[in-house]
Amino acid sequence: MARRIAVIDVGTVSVRMAVASAEGSRLSDVERASRICDLSEGVSASGRILHAAIERTVSCVRDYLARARELGAEVAACTLTSAARDASNAIALLSELSALGLVPQVIPGDVEGSLAFLGAARDFEGERILVADSGGGSTEVALGRLESGKLSLSFVRSINVGCRRITERFLALHDPPLPDELERAHAACAAAFADVDADGVDRLVTCGGTATSLVAMELALDPYDPARVHLHELGRDEVAALEREMGMLTEAQRRFVTGLQPQRAPVILGGIVALGELMDAVGVESMTVTESDLLLGLAGVVGLVVSGSPSPVGWEPALVRLG
């Protein structure tokens, strides 16, 4: 029997929710929402989450829970990723989320990567793929295969490279950044991805806000159209061209680029640098961008757990009733 579920992922840049009818890992009637709350603003420099960022995030999650109840969700799960792993005062955010009635879980990088792979691999049944979930503070890479519903992973790694982290470390001093600042950002990303072993991979699949924004900019989408973004092939030359374009613009000018959310203007260049270096490290000329990511993987795991089946990623979500 199908159950109505809600999943919330508190990411480094965006906070997202999906509500779906779940029958095991099969999902239908999915409604999604996404809001840029920039939880990691300043974390790289101070090691702490700003009070304003906590307020933005908690307000967003409160709204999501209200919407989930409107849609008839019976249970909810909430995960947090890189920013919450890094920040010394993450407990302040967790306490606020707990007060909303959730059991917030800060998941380790390997779980994050496994969930992203599980979500993305649905469209590539039987293929040996490398999934890269490029976020604000980290990039999770996972190599494996999903076949007949069974997940087989060769490796999962969380690498401390993300659009917000690269921006704050290398690209925040000048606007636009100087050429040598971009060179240092490229060198740091190249070193971080150097030992990603992708031998025998059929394709590189990327998800996350940077990847989907690249497609939206390439296609000049206004408004954003997830159907056109999903499974779009983006070549290395196209990524390089977008980097050159963004690298010549100030942050204020980037806010008016068609296809780019204005709130992503401060960090998009760092994200492009990271994805370009990942493509070079893997040795591919194109990547397949997907809208199916951690959120969908998390929803699939919740659907299995509420139906009494084991989690395919060796981790179980903490569920709360919304009745």
Strands 203-207 vs 129-134: parallel, antiparallel or unpaired: parallel
Cis (ω within 30 of 0) for the bond into 223? yes
**Segments of the chain scoring below 50 in pLDDT:** none
pLDDT value, residue 201:
86
Angle at 317 between CA 314 and CA 62, to 5 degrees: 155
pLDDT value, residue 41:
84
pLDDT in tens, 302-318: 999 999 999 999 999 99
Instruction: Region of 47 please: left (phi>0), alpha (psi -120 to 50) or beta.
Output: left
Report how far residue 10's alpha carbon sits from residue 87's, in angstroms, rounded to the nearest whole number. 14
Say if residues 321 and 69 touch (Cβ distance below 8 Å). no
Q: Which amino acid is at 223?
A: P
Other beta carbons within 10 angstroms of residue 126's beta carbon come to: 11
CA 282 to chain centroid, in Å, comes to 19
pLDDT in tens, 28-46: 988 999 999 999 887 777 8
Say if residues 176 and 250 touch (Cβ distance below 8 Å). yes
Report how far residue 218's alpha carbon sits from residue 175's, in angstroms, rounded to the nearest whole number. 23
Angle at 235 between CA 151 and CA 221, to 5 degrees: 95
Nearest of 166, 204, 200 to residue 183 by alpha carbon: 166
pLDDT value, residue 1:
75
Encode burial over 250-271: b for 16+ CB neighbours within 10 A, e otherwise: ebeebeebebbbebbbbbbbbb
Say if residues 187 and 265 touch (Cβ distance below 8 Å). no
For 245, the token pair is: 């374009």
pLDDT value, residue 198:
81
pLDDT value, residue 148:
83
